[in-house]
Amino acid sequence: MERLFKAAPKSDIYLFPELCSTGFTLKPELMAEKVNGTTAQRMLQWAAKYDAAFAGSVMTSDDDGRFYNRMYFARPDGRLDYYDKCNLFVYSGEDKVYTAGKEAVVWEFRGARIRPVICYDIRFPVFLYNRNEYDIMLISAAFPTSRMLAWDTLIKARAIENMCYVAASNRVGVDDFGDYCGHSVIINPYGQLVGKCRSGCQGTTTVELDWELLTNLRSRFLF
């Protein structure tokens, strides 16, 4: 992970896919980390070292033995925020193994308001409805190749309807549930593609967001 982002241009925020340090499994008891565990601590180290925020979903267990699909947001000042996936993928049995989060959150970082989202969350537009609460949607995902049409369509729709930027990081590779080709992208509030990773392999894309575009769009419509 460090090799990949070090090779990319310097950024304010780095985003990794869903369960970025392990891959997806329905046996979290084998590899889940404790709250603020190894991966979260490494992200904090990177945040301090590279003066940036690092976000990504991590398999996490609490002291009561509950498991969470948790996105951490590590900041340069040592602060560690998190969001627990609220909409678990019932068709795989994720809801039988993991505990759903209780609420949506918004983080503020360097003038931007950020809404964290994990994979299946993107299928719930009312859950993600933006009442001028956020500017960027960060999506960590493990969306399979078989559902790429849905992935490409839904993340564009979320950008357009919420008049926000969407940064969507999706895994690549193969596991027991299928294969994954990435399609990691950054989309502007008009639904236009402004950054894209190569499909089928690990990589990065970096974009400087146009805040004037965002402000002008919102001033003309509901915001």
Burial, 145: exposed, middle or buried (Cβ in 10 Å; 0-12, 13-18, 19+)?
middle
Per the annotation, the verdict on 196 as an active-site residue is no
**Selected catalytic residue, list 20, 33, 85, 164:** 85
What's the rounded Cα separation, in Å, for the pair 160 and 200?
26
Per the annotation, the verdict on 18 as an active-site residue is yes
**Selected catalytic residue, list 119, 164, 181, 197:** 119
Tell me which residue of 202, 210, 209, 208 sits closest to 5, measured CA to CA.
202
State the Cα torsion 214-4-48-166 to the nearest 10°: 20
Can you list the alpha helix ranges (DSSP code H) found in 110-183?
A: 148-162
- Intra-chain end-to-end CA distance of the chain, in Å: 37
Q: How far is CA 42 from CA 45, 61, 63, in A?
A: 5, 17, 21
Per the annotation, the verdict on 85 as an active-site residue is yes
What's the rounded Cα separation, in Å, for the pair 210 and 127?
26
- The catalytic site residues sit at 18, 85, 119
